């Protein structure tokens, strides 16, 4: 007889032994004090810490106008939508948000999803099925949601070396001209922090008659004078066919979307199971997201301040000889290597220094490449940055001296 629980217990035990098991910290988030928060330690004592791993980059989740809009519409329209988009789940707030998103990305239309993961999954798998004999050409560092979306339609897929447009063209040259081709990539890669060569990819797409699909999840709200992402900053939005984004990071709410031509959006809307059979976002969430986008679109000085904070933190890390991946984006990653050591460092940072950095491990990164990703927000101040750099220097030096710190960033 199969003992299902025993099998699963063994799998979990092996995951824990490898250091890749994910432990959740109960964060008692405070809108008033963010990015500072309270948590209970192992002794049940209430402690305060500073959050250095939140994706609420621009602190829009705690902006009083966003919260005010959320409260107003929730009292007016209720807590949930009550249905799928097709069955009573489309409100004026959904339509207004989609209109705002299409304008932000200079596209004819946009389509909302419960999250950016399901948006990628649905859009890619649907388009792959609708075109006959589709070929996906994918960057090797693409996010799991993009990978799963391409898998979902069982289309042929080629992988090009990260940001290597020469390799991309080699692949395109080998694909028959009459086959539908979709190049899939990200604008800002979430771990390495590298930025895609967007213009070069657009030129290749035109040369070989491909569609382009870009994931701007870690860029919307943060780049471009209007917060439209890397494609906005580079004035290249017209050259991209499908833009994927999130409402949960730079915009500080929840949800995901695609922005594209009317025909592409209507096709995903009409044939995408992940859209058709999912309850729509609550009206109040849509209203709050619209307010957040409107605010960020008109406050480029906030983005300037945010990027100033990034450079300020990096200058502190350099001054304290803390190695990190120095790149052109805001993603600041310290590679530890060993998963167990990475968790031990993160635990000590929280317990002894009051600093919350969540380990990033397999399967988000390859085995043996565990890291700490530092997320700077608009509200972190210089004193906190100095303290973080000092604490990391002390702790990483201690782990190196005891042989626990497995891998330096530049080794």
Strands, sheet with 355-356, edge to edge from the N-terminal-most edge strand: 28-29, 36-40, 46-51, 355-356
241-276 burial code (b ≥16 CB/10 A, e <16): bbbbbbbbbbbbbbbbbbbbeeebbebbbeebebbe
What does the domain layout of the chain look like in residue ranges?
62-298, 300-339+348-408
Of 369, 354, 363, 396, the residue nearest 21 (C-alpha): 363
Q: Which helix (H) or strand (E) holds 302?
A: helix 300-319
**CATH code for the structural domain at 62-298:** 3.40.640.10
Residue 264 φ/ψ, nearest 5 degrees: -65, -45
CA dihedral 246, 248, 249, 250 (to 10 degrees): 80
Rounded Cα distance, 196 and 192, in Å: 11
Q: Report CA-CA distances (Å) from 178 to 80, 172, 230, 242.
A: 46, 12, 31, 21
Residue 113 makes CB contacts below 8 A (sequence gap 6+) with: 119, 122, 255, 256, 257, 258, 274, 275, 278
Contact 329, 403 (CB under 8 A): no
> CA 400, CA 406: separation in Å to the nearest integer?
8
- The pLDDT of residue 409 is 38
Sign of CA pseudo-dihedral 160, 162, 165, 167: negative
Residues annotated catalytic, as ranges? 249
**CB–CB of 330/193 below 8 Å?**
yes
Can you give the C-alpha Rg of the chain in angstroms? 22
> What does the pLDDT profile of the chain (411 residues) look like in tens digits?
999 999 999 999 999 988 888 889 899 999 999 999 999 988 889 999 999 999 999 999 999 999 999 999 999 999 999 999 999 999 999 999 999 999 999 999 999 999 999 999 999 999 999 999 999 999 999 999 999 999 999 999 999 999 999 999 999 999 999 999 999 999 999 999 999 999 999 999 999 999 999 999 999 999 999 999 999 999 999 999 999 999 999 999 999 999 999 999 999 999 999 999 999 999 999 999 999 999 999 999 999 999 999 999 999 999 999 999 989 999 999 999 989 899 999 999 999 999 999 999 888 888 888 999 999 999 999 999 999 999 999 999 887 766 554 444 333
Contact in structure between 152 and 128 (CB atoms under 8 Å): yes
First-to-last C-alpha distance (Å) of the chain = 50
150: its two tokens: 């391409």
What CATH architecture applies to the domain 300-339+348-408? Answer: Alpha-Beta Complex (3.90)
Run of H or E residues at 156: strand 156-160
Strand-pair category, 242-246 with 355-356: unpaired
Output the DSSP codes for 181-234.
EEEEEESB-TTT--B--HHHHHHHHHHTT-EEEEE-TTTTTTSSTTS--HHHHT
- Return the pLDDT at 402: 62
How many CA atoms, within 13 angstroms, populate the side-chain half-sphere of residue 319?
Answer: 13
* Distance in angstroms (rounded) separating the CA atoms of residues 237 and 228: 9
Which has the closest alpha carbon to 242: 226, 262, 223, 222?
A: 262
Whether 267 contacts 186, CB under 8 Å: no
């Amino acid at each position: 007889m199969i003992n299902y629980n025993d099998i699963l217990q063994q799998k979990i035990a092996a995951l824990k032994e490898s250091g890749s098991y994910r432990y959740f910290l109960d964060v008692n988030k405070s809108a008033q004090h963010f990015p500072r928060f309270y948590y209970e330690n192992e002794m049940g004592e209430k402690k305060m810490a500073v959050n250095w791993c939140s994706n609420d980059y621009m602190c829009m989740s705690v902006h009083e106008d966003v919260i005010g809009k959320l409260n107003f519409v929730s009292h007016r329209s209720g807590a949930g939508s009550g249905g799928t988009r097709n069955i009573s789940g489309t409100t004026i707030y959904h339509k207004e948000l989609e209109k705002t998103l299409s304008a932000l990305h200079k596209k004819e239309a946009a389509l909302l999803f419960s999250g950016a993961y399901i948006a990628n999954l649905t859009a890619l798998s649907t388009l792959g099925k609708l075109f006959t004999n589709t070929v996906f050409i994918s960057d090797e560092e693409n996010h799991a949601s993009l990978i799963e979306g391409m898998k979902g339609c069982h289309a042929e897929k080629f992988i090009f070396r990260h940001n290597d447009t020469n390799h991309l063209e080699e692949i395109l040259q080998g694909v028959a001209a009459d086959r539908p081709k979709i190049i899939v990539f990200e604008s800002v890669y979430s771990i390495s922090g590298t930025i895609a060569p967007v213009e070069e990819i657009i030129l290749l797409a035109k040369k070989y008659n491909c569609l382009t699909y870009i994931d701007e999840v870690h860029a919307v709200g943060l780049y471009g004078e209007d917060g439209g992402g890397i494609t906005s900053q580079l004035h290249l939005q017209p050259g991209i066919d499908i833009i994927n984004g999130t409402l949960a990071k730079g915009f500080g709410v929840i949800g995901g979307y695609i922005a594209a031509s009317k025909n592409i959006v209507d096709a995903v809307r009409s044939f995408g199971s992940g859209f058709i059979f999912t309850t729509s976002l609550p009206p109040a969430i849509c209203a709050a997201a619209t307010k957040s986008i409107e605010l960020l679109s008109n406050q480029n000085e906030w983005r300037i301040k945010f990027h100033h904070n990034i450079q300020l933190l990096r200058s502190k890390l350099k001054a304290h000889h803390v190695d990190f991946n120095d790149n052109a984006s805001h993603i600041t990653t310290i590679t530890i290597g060993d998963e167990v050591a990475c968790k031990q460092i993160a635990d000590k940072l929280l317990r002894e220094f009051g600093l919350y950095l969540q380990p990033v491990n397999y399967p988000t990164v390859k085995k043996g490449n565990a890291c700490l990703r530092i997320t700077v927000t608009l509200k972190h101040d210089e004193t906190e940055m100095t303290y973080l750099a000092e604490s990391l220097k002390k702790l990483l030096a201690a782990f190196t001296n005891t042989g626990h710190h497995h891998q330096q960033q530049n080794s």
